[in-house]
Amino acid sequence: MMNSPRSPDDRSVIAFSDVTHGYGGSPLLHGVSVRIAPGSFHFLTGPSGAGKTTLLKLCYRDLVPQQGSVSVFGQETAQMDRDAVALLRRRVGVVHQDCRFLDHLTIDENVALPVTVSGRHIDPAELGELLAWVGLSRRAGALPAELSGGERQRAALARAVITAPEILIADEPTGNLDWDMSLRLLTLLVELNRMGKTILIATHDLNLIRAAKTQVSARVLRIANRRVELAGADL
């Protein structure tokens, strides 16, 4: 898991090799090497401001590392051209921390957007199935402003998986949710993992991690002292 990402048997879908990154001043991440295996379930924890969102952004090439390399699906993100980045964005679904929507579009239109934005057709039955999966069938025609926090998070998850990504990244997906809604969202993430998707979730919520560990074999990565370590089983 934390070995060199360049070993011959490297099957990792995400590999950080000696990554250093920051925003001026001392770097947030220093000499970080991490590997994420396909089909695995990882949490990413660490104090507020430690660099969790930054690490996630490096994974979906919102950022490229200042030093070292990040490879996703075996390709170094810094070397990707526009087409490769577009393909990466389809293969990596992201639920952002603030899960923004286009306010004038209905929820089903927002969820379909990653497909329709490029002029592709969306099968209404498939869209309906996806909305049913996240429990939003009856809210399909609502506007984003009319949704509760839990409904917004589930809509954001549906939007993140509509392109059938192989990796799902979620940044504090249960940040503003009550415990029941957090568990409901966790169930959806576990289901995705059982379908074979690689899951990476940044969270502060240790109870969520404990709940997940009763359902899947989840590993916990912790950012501490500008490095990423594998947390022990004591969580």
Ligand X SMILES: Nc1ncnc2c1ncn2[C@@H]1O[C@H](COP(=O)(O)OP(=O)(O)OP(=O)(O)O)[C@@H](O)[C@H]1O
Burial of 11 (0-12, 13-18, 19+ CB in 10 A): exposed
Strand partners, 94: 169
8-state DSSP, 97: T
The answer to the question of residue 26 lying near ligand X (CB under 6 A) is: no
* Token pair belonging to 201: 């979730």
48 binds ligand X (CB under 6 A): yes
Residue of 13, 50, 88, 156 that binds ligand X (CB under 6 A): 50
Integer angstrom CA distances of residue 113 from 15, 85, 134, 197: 29, 18, 17, 21
- In terms of CB distance, is 16 or 139 closer to ligand X? 16
Span interacting with ligand X, options 7-15, 42-50, 131-139, 193-201, rule CB under 6 A: 42-50
Q: Based on the shown chain and the rule CB under 6 A, indicate whether residue 23 belongs to the binding site for ligand X.
A: yes
Please work out the total of residues on this chain that contact ligand X, with binding judged by CB under 6 A.
10
Beta strand pairing call for 67-72 and 14-21: antiparallel
**51 is a site residue for ligand X (CB under 6 A):** yes
Span near ligand X by CB under 6 A; candidates 48-56, 73-81, 158-166, 205-213: 48-56
Q: Let me know: does 111 contact 127? Beta carbons within 8 Å.
A: yes
228 is an interface residue for ligand X by CB under 6 A? no
Report if residue 66 touches ligand X, rule: CB under 6 A.
no
| Residue 46 binding ligand X, by CB under 6 A | yes
